[in-house]
Structure 1
Amino acid sequence: MTQAYDIVVVGAGMVGAALATGLGQNGFSVALIDRDSAGAFDPAQSPDLRVSAISAGNERYLRQLGAWQKMATMRLTPYTRLGVWDETRHPLSNLLPARLGQTIFNATDLNTGHLGHIVENRVTQYALWQCVREQPSVDLLAGSGVSAVCQQQDQATVTLDDGRELSCQLVVGADGAQSRVREMADIGTQRDQYSQQAMVISVRYRGAVEDITWQAFHPSGPRAFLPLHSAGDAFPQESWASLVWYDSPDTLSRLKAMSKPDLLAEIQRAFPPELPPLTHIDACASFPIARQHANSYSNGRVVLVGDSAHTINPLAGQGVNLGFQDAQCLQDLLKECRRNGLNLSDSSCLQQYEQQRRPANRRMMLAMDLFYYLFSNRIPPLHLARNLGLGMAQALPFAKNRVARYAMGIEEELPAVLQLLASRLPSLPLP
């Protein structure tokens, strides 16, 4: 027996669960499919290795869904300052004032309480799964994979691994960078692999929870500090943080092979002095990074959101922010589509979704590549330019704040000078 829905969402990660919740709140019947299940939140559990910097713009979206309130009862960390500086030493460095190449973005300059929040991915996902389960018109089919998607003239049929069949007007692929739905819809991608990888390290440090997240750029790639929550009564006067170390695969393999005490000492030596004194390494993992963009965001009755449609350099934690923006955009367009009496796979609706989201996603992808290319090298002219650029950014609050508002999801357009530079990036090699 085939069960009928308006929409089948494949992938119940953060973006898929957010979209299913929003659709359910607007009266759509939805099946949300995922191979995994979200475990219960345990406040005594160590932090998730996977964290995201959720922008102020997407905080509003998560509040509308009812997820933010649930996240706040678990744990999230606001940050009011974002630091960026150049740690590359070069003969030209002696000609420049110390830390000229530094800028600090501050929430007070924008008349806001914070720039964003650092949140563990599993906290966000668990809160969204709770929201999904509150929607009477949404069925969460956990522990199920998709074996086939068949498109007919009047509907699509999704076959699960256990043989169950679901019919719908629209299938949403929210199943990540290696999307099976994208593959079954015969949508190709353009993919560029970076030479560096990223290593994520969960640590405790001595001191209170900090209100700043920062990235120091080295020729081998950035090294970043993301503050998390207090370590609690078990470790008084200590706090948790997530560190990110970009480097060559060989270097990261060497680091992962170290004992935890040796790795702790190496991190403290290699990171800037702004890193607070570390007391413990809980876990670490590394992963390759790539820029990937689907050739089309839809084909027939299949549409893509989040990492299924695009992946970017995780430099500023913007990947999930773009995915939430996809979800909100598609949700609003599908409401309009239904209001106009159209089929949910109507080509004009799906084309409008791509017309709105592809340029926005591409701008952020190119902006991240611009920063990555400018900083991950020792080329003298670029070394001078980036130091002067950061120094000017600090000295020109209007320009600096425009960049901050863009990163926060408050403004949709990059400052003109960054748009010009980013538009020329495709001709530059990835580091």
Structure 2
Amino acid sequence: MTQAFDIVIVGAGMVGAALATGLGREGFSVAMVDRAPAPTFDPEAAPDIRVSALSAGSERYLRSLGAWDHILGMRVTPYRRLAVWDETRHPLSDLLPRASNKVEFNAAGLNTSHLGHIVENSVTQQGLWHAAEAEPSVTILAGNGISSIAQTAELATVTLEDGQQLTTALVIGADGAQSRVRDMAGIGVTRNQYGQQAMVISVRYQGPIEDITWQGFYPSGPRAFLPLYSAGADYPGESRASLVWYDSPEEIARLKSLSNDALMAEIQLGFPAELPHLTHIEDRASFPIARQHAKQYFAGRIVLTGDAAHTINPLAGQGVNLGFQDAQCLQSVLKEARRAGEDLAKPSRLASYEQQRRPANRRMMFAMDAFYHLFSNRFPPFHLLRNLGLGTVRALPFARNRVARYAMGIDDELPAVIRQLASSLPGLNQP
């Protein structure tokens, strides 16, 4: 059986589903293919272990797709404050005021109601699936992977694992960091593995829902708190949160091997004093940390987006926000190609997409690597530099607001304070 579509999107995660919805709204006939079944949501279940900090820019995009109301109907947590501080003690620390190592961003200072939302990935994905299902020109082929992609001068043919064939002008790879589409296109990647892993822990704590997300930086890596939602009537007075602990692979393996009670004790000792009193650990998982960038974003009738094109250090949870920016840009480029009566895979059009997104993605990689190197380095001058940098951002509202606006997806340009702090760091000029 063969079906014809304008566009075939491989990968129905958050970025793939957003693109399918947006392109469907523009009138393209779209097939969205994914081996996984449709996402589900159980309001009584514990939170998804995977959560993201959706920026204000991503919220606007999701609203434009008709997905945000679906997401709000499940569960989201707005955060109004974001704090960063340095927990590394060193003799040079005594030369500086204690407050110089901390900076806090506040929505009130930006004349906005919130800085962003902490949302479970499965909730965002399901909201986007609902939006995609509402588009008549979008066909969702769930529970079916791809086995091959063949290209000619006129079209591409995607063969599914069940033998179905889809013909299309353009294949979009939105199938994640281990993208099969990228491999089938023969596109290589540059990859930098960090010396840390991240452990994510879903917890309950005593107290109301917090409106702040924070990261304390230790010599072994950052430790972060992301607020979630009320734990409900079964746990009166308790709320849920997601914790992130970065450390060496050996230490993460040790922490994962502990019982819940032992891990709870380690967290209470190892996290900053700002951590609320924990009452229960619900789930835990760990993953390696790597920066990865495709050597090119397209080849023939195949184009990459989201994690298939790039992954970054997850320090600030910006990965999905970059993916949504990719989706908006690619949607705009394809809309212009159709308006001009051009082939959707015209090289100059796909090159325009890459020329817009590669520098923007590299800037965010640069920013996250700058933080990683600055805060994981025990060399005294770097310790002094990061404290002075945090103190500068803290003391100057203009600098602080520029950093916040960049993180929120409002400004596209990397703030000068970050560029200056990172200018002497090694390894940040790779493609």
Tell whether the 8 Å contact from 1:369 to 1:425 is kept in structure 2 after alignment: no
How far apart, in 2, do the equivalents of 1:420 and 1:148 lie?
46
Tell whether the 8 Å contact from 1:66 to 1:131 is kept in structure 2 after alignment: yes
How far apart, in 2, do the equivalents of 1:229 and 1:55 lie?
18
User: 1:99 is paired with a residue of what secondary structure?
Assistant: helix
Which amino acid is 1:329 matched to? C
Please report how far the alpha carbon of residue 426 of structure 1 lies from its aligned counterpart in structure 2 after TM superposition.
5.0
Tell whether the 8 Å contact from 2:218 to 2:375 is kept in structure 1 after alignment: yes
Please report how far the alpha carbon of residue 417 of structure 1 lies from its aligned counterpart in structure 2 after TM superposition.
3.9
How far apart, in 2, do the equivalents of 1:420 and 1:237 lie?
45
Listed as ranges, the gaps of 5+ residues in structure 1 are none
Matched, 1:197 2:182: no
Matched, 1:299 2:302: no
Please report how far the alpha carbon of residue 423 of structure 1 lies from its aligned counterpart in structure 2 after TM superposition.
5.7
Aligned match of 1:393: 393
Tell whether the 8 Å contact from 1:38 to 1:125 is kept in structure 2 after alignment: no
Seen in structure 2, the aligned counterparts of structure 1 residues 387 and 425 have a Cα distance that, compared at 3 Å, is closer
User: 1:267 is paired with a residue of what secondary structure?
Assistant: helix
How far apart, in 1, do the equivalents of 2:229 and 2:199 lie?
20
Tell whether the 8 Å contact from 2:11 to 2:34 is kept in structure 1 after alignment: yes
Q: TM-score, normalised by structure 1?
A: 0.98
Aligned match of 1:118: 118
Aligned match of 2:259: 259
User: 2:31 is paired with a residue of what secondary structure?
Assistant: strand
How far apart, in 1, do the equivalents of 2:42 and 2:149 lie?
36
Aligned match of 2:242: 242
Seen in structure 2, the aligned counterparts of structure 1 residues 421 and 297 have a Cα distance that, compared at 3 Å, is farther
Listed as ranges, the gaps of 5+ residues in structure 2 are none
Mapping for residues 407-422 of structure 1, pairs under 5 Å: 407-422=407-422
Tell whether the 8 Å contact from 2:155 to 2:170 is kept in structure 1 after alignment: yes
Of 116-125 and 417-426, the range deviating more from structure 2:
417-426
Of 38-47 and 201-210, the range deviating more from structure 2:
38-47
How far apart, in 2, do the equivalents of 1:271 and 1:317 lie?
19
Matched, 1:150 2:184: no
Aligned match of 2:84: 84
User: What stretches of structure 1 move > 6 A for 4+ residues in a row?
Assistant: none
How far apart, in 1, do the equivalents of 2:373 and 2:244 lie?
18
Please report how far the alpha carbon of residue 416 of structure 1 lies from its aligned counterpart in structure 2 after TM superposition.
2.5
Tell whether the 8 Å contact from 1:200 to 1:243 is kept in structure 2 after alignment: yes
Tell whether the 8 Å contact from 1:294 to 1:310 is kept in structure 2 after alignment: yes
How far apart, in 2, do the equivalents of 1:144 and 1:38 lie?
11
Tell whether the 8 Å contact from 1:337 to 1:349 is kept in structure 2 after alignment: yes
Residues paired across the two proteins, number: 430
Aligned match of 1:360: 360
Aligned match of 1:332: 332
Seen in structure 2, the aligned counterparts of structure 1 residues 181 and 196 have a Cα distance that, compared at 3 Å, is same
Aligned match of 1:186: 186
How far apart, in 2, do the equivalents of 1:195 and 1:243 lie?
20
How far apart, in 1, do the equivalents of 2:394 and 2:417 lie?
16
Seen in structure 2, the aligned counterparts of structure 1 residues 16 and 190 have a Cα distance that, compared at 3 Å, is same
Aligned match of 1:207: 207
Seen in structure 2, the aligned counterparts of structure 1 residues 309 and 219 have a Cα distance that, compared at 3 Å, is same
How far apart, in 1, do the equivalents of 2:425 and 2:158 lie?
39
Tell whether the 8 Å contact from 2:402 to 2:415 is kept in structure 1 after alignment: yes
How far apart, in 2, do the equivalents of 1:50 and 1:320 lie?
12
